[in-house]
Structure 1
Amino acid sequence: MEMRVDFHTHIIPEDLPNMAERFQGDRWPVLHRTCACGANIMVGGKVFREVTDQVWDPMKRIQDMEREKVDMQVLSPIPVTFSYWASAEEAEVMARIQNDFIAETVKQHPNRFIGLGTVPLQHTETAIREMDRCIHELGLKGIEIGTNVNGSNLDDAALMPFFEMCQEWDVPLFVHPWETLGRERMPRHNLMYTVGMPSETALAAASLILGGVIEKYPRLKICFAHGGGSFPYILPRLDQGWKVWPHLRMIEQPPSHYAKNFYFDSLNYDPLNIQYMVNRFGDDRIMMGSDYPFLLREIPPGEVIDQALELTEEQKRAMLGENALRFLNMSEMKVR
């Protein structure tokens, strides 16, 4: 019997403290309740995102999962809470609050939820310390990180000790776009979500490859949100750049060689795109993910995989659940 695991869902504590008041800063996300079943995430006194109680209430989530035939959700923080711009001490407080909440939610519903944590990547030593706590004390199964750290790409030298420990401890990473490039050109049409985020994710993936991170740490387990954004489709262009600019090379093989190490969620809305990704990366590298509970999410989760006509039932079963459990080192888990 197949197990359907939604790898890409977000959660936030209903009682998230007002960090803007606590630390006197206007960049902190603040949860402002608007009604019994909803709230606004406020940043700098402006509405960043409207949310419903689905984003904090595990029972509401379970009701939706029952209706949409999802066995388990993998919970991760909302990227606006990464707070890499803050001091390491302040960001660590924010990370610990969320990690404790996610761990407690998993503890209360161990057959429905799996938890990913967050760490203050702006300070590598602090990030490693909180990752250690997440994995070895709280029992979380991986870490969600952003696509850049205050404008520095993921191949920044300061991050190498973090990636080294991820490989040593076999900690899976979920890379989610945040603070996207070109935001100043995307105020209209919500282009930050539809164009900026996919482009930002491609930049992160390309940086990890071209900067030599994947070559140096080949056992890293990294999954990219939103089907890898535009990365799968520009990979041949990255190969061509590596070929024609040998003086810029920091890696021995073309980028497509290292891209085989990556994993991707399935959130690209089109069975044709899913088939393309299977052809390029393999069916063992794609995991069903919906972006629950936000507006751009796939409803029902996994529909794009179910509708991919050229996939076998075995391939679909792997992508709908088995791959996620294997990625998170939980292959022994059985359907409830």
Structure 2
Amino acid sequence: MSFIDVHHHLIGKQHLAGMPDWSLELDKESMDRMGLTNALLSLPVAGAPEQTRGINDMIAGLAAKDPKRYGMLACLPSAYVDAALREIEYACDTLKADGFCMPSNASGIYIGDDRMDEILAELNRRSATVLLHPTKAGGEIPSLLVTDLSTYEYPFETSRAMIDLIYRGKIQKYPNIKWIVSHAGGVLPYIAYRVSTVAQENKAMPLTSDEVMSSLKTLYYDVALSTAPYVFATLKELFGTSHIVFGTDAPLRYEGPVTESIQQLKSYRGFDEGEKSKIMSENAKELFPRLR
């Protein structure tokens, strides 16, 4: 049975400090042990144009070594609009990328910002699939006891980026972009009702409450770090199993916890076998036709 990981990173030599050892061979061995058949390699960065081109060439080179197993999500120099447009063309036409991985903000510019419109318009024209990945918030973060941003700030960051994108009407303006939201949408599913009521109470909002909820339901939600039963139940209730995809956050999330997440999905009684098959691979195949 196919088991596709849409949220799967690589670690380049320049990123090894403080990171787990990584190579394509080690990754394939780990995937075999866990039962993952395919993965979309990505790096959630938005650097300078030259740096981004080098990263995309590196990802493409790694994926090309085992194309039956790996695909690639290209990154973009999102703070440099003209360069980003060139990189979309290069990634799609030359590297044959399966989609893109974009951080929630690039140098403090969030994906819903009007300065991103030319980039979104081109992604829309190409009917691109985009994995939205959180990064450090575009502002100061208060000093708290828990300093690991992945614990709480990244889910909040994912949510604020998507809420801004939705409130600005960009989901409706660029309907051909297929968005995958990392980590089950951050906190978005749990505040969806509250998010929709803002449009009802604030007459200056460009969207109605129904339009906000409709926009939320067009998104896809990966379950990296989000495989608890109550998360599954919430996603199914709000969005249906056709909009849930499997992700791991490997190798930043180690093999043991990922294996546990796989078992949590397989053993969850709220999904029937057909629904589990959708989440494990069929929904991803719709988003990434090459993996069919």
TM-score normalised to structure 1 length:
0.81
- Judged with a 3 Å threshold, the aligned counterparts in structure 2 of structure 1 residues 269 and 321 are, in CA distance, closer, same or farther, namely same
Q: Confirm or deny: 8 A CA contact 2:108 2:137 kept in the other structure.
A: no
Aligned ranges 1:190-229 → 2 under 5 Å = 190-229=147-186
What does residue 38 of structure 2 align with? 72
CA distance in 2, matches of 1:178, 1:166: 21
- Find the partner of 2:101 among 117, 134, 144: 144
Count of paired positions: 288
Residue 302 of structure 1: how far off its partner (Å): 2.8
For structure 1, which segment, 311-320 or 104-113, has the greater mean C-alpha deviation from structure 2 after superposition? 104-113
Calculate the aligned-residue CA RMSD, in Å: 1.8
Superposition pairs of residues 115-134 of structure 1, within 5 angstroms: 115-134=72-91
Matched, 1:314 2:282: no
Stretches of structure 1 that go unaligned for 5 or more consecutive residues are: 17-30, 32-38, 41-49, 84-90
Greater fraction helix: 2
Distance 1:218 1:328 in 2: 17
Q: How many Å separate the matches in 2 of 1:127 and 1:142?
A: 14
CA contact (8 A) 1:7 1:324 kept: yes
- Cα distance in 2 for residues equivalent to 1:296 and 1:241: 39
Structure 1 partner of 2:4: 5
Whole-Å Cα distance in 2 between the matches of residues 270 and 130 of structure 1? 37
| Contact 1:183 1:192 (C-alpha < 8 Å) held by counterparts | no
Q: Distance in 2 between the 1:290 and 1:245 partners?
A: 38
Q: CA deviation at 1:13?
A: 2.6
Task: Report if the CA contact (8 A) 1:10-1:76 is conserved.
Answer: yes
Matches within 5 A, 1:144-183: 144-180=101-137
In terms of mean alpha carbon deviation, does 225-234 or 291-300 score higher? Answer: 291-300
- 1:52 equivalent to 2:12? Answer no
Displacement of 1:117 in angstroms is 0.6
Alignment pair present for 1:325 and 2:285: yes
Report how far residue 182 of structure 1 moved.
6.4
Aligned equivalents of 1:181, 1:95: Cα separation in 2: 20
1:97 and 2:54 aligned = yes
SS of 1:9's equivalent in the other structure is strand
* Superposition map of 1:12-91 within 5 A: 12-14=11-13, 16=14, 31=15, 39-40=16-17, 50-54=18-22, 57-77=23-43, 79=44, 81-83=45-47, 91=48
* One-letter amino acid of the counterpart of residue 29, structure 2: Q
What secondary structure sits across from 2:284 in the alignment?
Answer: helix
**Cα offset, 1:145, TM superposition:** 0.5
Residue-by-residue CA offset, 1:85-108 (whole Å, 9 max, x unaligned): xxxxxx111111111111111111
Out of 300-309 and 320-329, give the one that drifted further. Answer: 300-309
Structure 2 residues without counterparts, runs of 5 or longer:
none
- Residue 251 of structure 2 corresponds to which residue in structure 1? 293
Partners of 2:234 and 2:120 lie apart in 1 by 29
CA contact (8 A) 2:105 2:135 kept: yes
1:265 maps to 2:233: no
Identity of aligned residues (%): 23
SS at match of 2:109: coil
Letter in 1 for 2:46: F
Distance 1:186 1:131 in 2: 38
How does the TM-score come out when normalised to structure 2? 0.93
Greater radius of gyration (CA): 1
- Displacement over 3 Å in runs of 4+: 295-298
**Letter of the 2:283 counterpart:** N
Letter in 1 for 2:10: I
For residues 109 and 130 of structure 1, what CA distance do their matches in structure 2 show? 23
Q: Secondary structure at the match of 2:101?
A: strand
Q: Distance in 2 between matches of 1:214 and 1:302?
A: 31
Q: 2:105·2:138 contact (CA, 8 Å) conserved in 1?
A: no
CA distance in 2, matches of 1:190, 1:293: 21
Shift of 1:226: 0.8
Determine if contact 1:181/1:196 at 8 Å carries over to the other structure: no
Contact 1:12 1:98 survives alignment (8 Å): no
Give, in angstroms, the shift of residue 251 of structure 1.
2.1
Among candidates 185, 207, 210, match of residue 251 of structure 1: 207
Deviations 1:216-245 (A, max 9, x none): 112220011111100111110011111111
On the 8 A contact 2:107/2:138 being kept in 1, the answer is no
Amino acid in structure 1 at the alignment position of 2:206: M
CA distance in 2, matches of 1:98, 1:276: 36
SS of 1:70's equivalent in the other structure is coil
